Structure 1
Amino acid sequence: MTIGGTGVMLLGCVGSFIVFVGLARLLIRRLGPVTAIAIAGFCWTVLCIGILTLIPARWGIGVVPVEQAQTQCSLDYGGPAPDGFWILPGSQRLLNIAVFVPAGALWVLAVARWRSAWVLAPLGIAALGLYSIAIEALQLAASRIGRACDVTDMVDNLMGAVIGGVVGLLLALVLRPWRRRRLAAWN
């Protein structure tokens, strides 16, 4: 029997949220509220992506027998995708895109205050694409936990990170993190 399921995933994400609120509080005086919250939020979303993708999708599924475990990554782009979790109804592809949007947006917002943002923002989006590849490789290596490696997931995750990057750019233009505004509630 293995431990997994959406309840365990949600518990992991909610529990780690408390830690990252503390991180934001530590960074806020030095970096300002927008950048501090964006950095802590980015770290939290990256951890949650790991939790959502590397914990078995169902509780107590057991271990997949070796002869049934996946031996290579599926290259069937856009092939039959299962339904998404009850958290986000719709297709698995929509979930794969949606889960990377916040990470892309928060990364761009986190680096927007520095002049090097024009280099750091695209590098971060590319790093999120590499993170997706690493996750899929881990899913293949640990395919006995009931997860599958799929090239469609990698493309959808990168698309979500890029969409998030555009959202982050728009948020940066509105919130202007290079201007250090203080929030009374955080100080």
Structure 2
Amino acid sequence: MLEAVFRGQTVFIITALIITAGAGTVAFRLSASRTERPVLVGMWAASLVGALCLTMWSTGGSQVAANCVVNRDVFEPFTTVQGLLNMAMFVPAGLLGTLVTRRLAFPVCVGVGLSSVIETAQGAIPSIGRACDTSDLVTNSAGALLGALCGLLLVRRDSRSLTPWTFRVRPTSISAVGLVAALCTVWAASIHPHSVTATDAVSTASAAQRRAAEKAVSGAFGDHFAIKDVQYASSPNAKHGTLIVGLPAGFLQVSWPDSTDVTASLDMSDKGAETGFPVPGVTVRPRTPRQAQDVATAYAREHYPWGLPGSRVEVSGVGDNAALGWMVSWRRYHHGVLMPMRLDVEVDRAGRISQMSVHAAPDVSVPEVLVSKEAAAATASKTMPSCKKVDAGELLAVREHGSWQAVWRVVVSCGSSGAVVNVNAHSGAIQSRQTFSRPTGQPVSPQS
């Protein structure tokens, strides 16, 4: 995949330029005595090798072995900046290929073939650190086609009688069939396609999404911050996503389409610099958790008053000795069951709001709790008999299959692996189970 910006990759940039220039020079010299357009041949070769360098350069990380995302939404990548960049990367290859060969189909096939090789390699070789994604193949191929069409227009307007390239049918056919066979073999032997309705792509927000973003920003900060930009990050199921709102001093995220989750992160400072959101009427610079709670309460009362009545409040320091301030959290319980609402506000040392997170949800009714924490822990431990460490957490409300249930969340772990088990507090049955491995951390199931 083409990365929009290569930062801190001086060695890569120099190496790629040398390889690309070298490929162009070699192609020019080899074709100088065989064609009327050696300069174009050299430029075509350079464009192909340049694209190869951009997409095959190792990021230093690793992807899931033998995995490739198959995006069923063919048109989605054309709505993203990344997709348009991927398309633009192959336009020169299609354009120059047509100017060289004076034909349309061959340069397009070369572009499609090169992109197929790239995606196959990315899927089969995890150490490259690039993700195999059919969206890239689609946009690369579209770029090659667009470039070839532009080249065809230039060829037809060219008054010179240059001879189109001719191809020996047998060697060309054998090469094409061999490439297809090799790619199919690699896919059949080592790559597992993972089909999704849409990828985690980022695109420009629609008018409706922008209105939702404006409402969320207004709800969190009034008219204090002007919106710089709004983007939409889709999720693999294509039904839900996240609006990413750029602010002068940070960003805000909103769940779409329900807008029930709002998270903001503003610039923070441990020097007391005033970089966050100032709470109207508040001038105190908190030095104690209680003072921070007062600031956060004043903010919540003005912006999210629904989170205060009947809620328990907790204050915890952020950073060493609360260098970055305090996190003030509100949670609501009914008969010992944690309700789905969430309200977290971080107050920095300057008395400003540096971060906030909201999950707006009404209180819910759940079946009577009949299973104790100890019984739930015993049930969960049976899912991994070899693990002796069992930690039963809070009793919380979780929506499963359209209905709300009270569950005990139990973490069963041993060594570097374990599982998060939700045990139904009414029936005692295991409601869900999700395994994890360290050091990646433990998964957290959604609250609703």
Is structure 2 residue 64 aligned with structure 1 residue 31? no
Flag the structure with higher helix content.
1
The residue that corresponds to 1:154 in the other structure is 137
- 1:127 equivalenced with 2:130 (yes/no): no
Q: 1:45, 1:102 within 8 Å by CA — same for their partners in 2?
A: yes
Q: Percent identity?
A: 27
**2:111 aligned with 1:108, yes or no?**
no
Farther off after superposition, 170-179 or 100-109 = 170-179
- In structure 1, distance between residues paired with 2:13 and 2:69: 27
CA distance in 2, matches of 1:26, 1:177: 23
Opposite residue 13 of structure 2, the aligned amino acid is L
Paired position in structure 1 for 2:123: 140
* Equivalence map 1:56-95=2 (5 Å): 56-57=58-59, 61=60, 63-64=61-62, 69-77=64-72, 91-95=81-85
Task: Give yes or no for the alignment of 1:16 onto 2:19.
Answer: yes
Evaluate the alpha carbon distance shift between residue 18 and residue 151 of structure 1 in structure 2; reply closer, same or farther with a 3 A threshold. closer
Give the distance between the partners of 1:103 and 1:27, measured in 2 at CA: 17
Query: Aligned to 1:152, what secondary structure does the other structure show?
Result: helix
In 2, distance between residues paired with 1:53 and 1:171?
29
Give the SS at the match of 2:100.
Answer: helix
Report the 3-state secondary structure (helix = DSSP H, G, I; strand = E; otherwise coil) of the residue aligned with 1:135: helix
The residue that corresponds to 2:55 in the other structure is 53
Structure exhibiting the larger radius of gyration computed from Cα positions = 2
Give the structure 1 partner of residue 235 of structure 2: none
C-alpha distance in structure 2 between counterparts of 1:158 and 1:146, whole Å: 22
Q: Which moved more, 1:154-163 or 1:8-17?
A: 8-17
Code of the residue aligned with 1:162 in structure 2: it is L
Change (3 A) 1:142 1:154: same
* Aligned mates of 1:173, 1:13 — CA distance in 2: 34
Structure 1 pair 134–30 and aligned structure 2 pair: CA distance change class (3 A): closer
Number of paired residues? 153
Contact 1:5–1:56 (Cα < 8 Å) also in 2: no
Q: Is the 8 A contact 1:12 1:51 kept in 2?
A: no
Question: Counterpart amino acid of 2:69?
Answer: S
Please provide the CA RMSD for this pair. Answer: 3.0
Provide Cα deviations, 1:23-64, integer angstroms capped at 9, x if missing partner.
Answer: 4356446533xx22221111111111111111124xxx3x43
In 2, the alpha carbon distance for the partners of 1:138 and 1:47 equals 15
User: Which whole-Å CA distance do the structure 1 matches of 2:47 and 2:94 have between them?
Assistant: 9
Counterpart Cα distance in 2 of 1:175 and 1:37: 17
Offset of 1:145 from its aligned partner? 2.7
Q: 1:18 to 1:46 in 2, by over 3 A?
A: closer
Q: Which moved more, 1:14-23 or 1:43-52?
A: 14-23
After superposition, what is the alpha-carbon deviation per residue over 1:8-30, rounded to whole angstroms, capped at 9, x for unaligned? 44323421344324643564465
| Residue 92 of structure 2 is aligned to residue 97 of structure 1 | no
Q: How many Å separate the matches in 1 of 2:68 and 2:160? A: 40
Contact 1:76 1:152 in 2 (8 A): yes
> 8 Å contact 2:107–2:148 — kept in the other structure?
no
Unaligned runs of 5+ in 2: 1-6, 164-448
Counterpart residue identity of residue 31, structure 1? T
Give the distance between the partners of 2:33 and 2:105, measured in 1 at CA. Answer: 27
Contact 1:104 1:162 in 2 (8 A): yes
Q: Is the 8 A contact 2:58 2:127 kept in 1?
A: no
Q: 1:21 to 1:143 in 2, by over 3 A?
A: same
Per the alignment, residue 147 of structure 2 pairs with: 164
Shifted more, 98-107 versus 170-179: the winner is 170-179
- Secondary structure of 1:147's match? coil
Cross-structure match for 1:85: none
Tell me, yes or no, if the aligned pair for 2:20 and 2:49 is still in contact at 8 Å: no
1:5 and 1:55 in contact (8 A); partners too: no
* TM-score, L = length of structure 1: 0.68
Any idea what the Cα deviations from partners look like across 1:107-141, whole Å, max 9, x if unmatched? 111011xxxx3xxx303312321221111010011
Flag the structure with higher strand content.
2
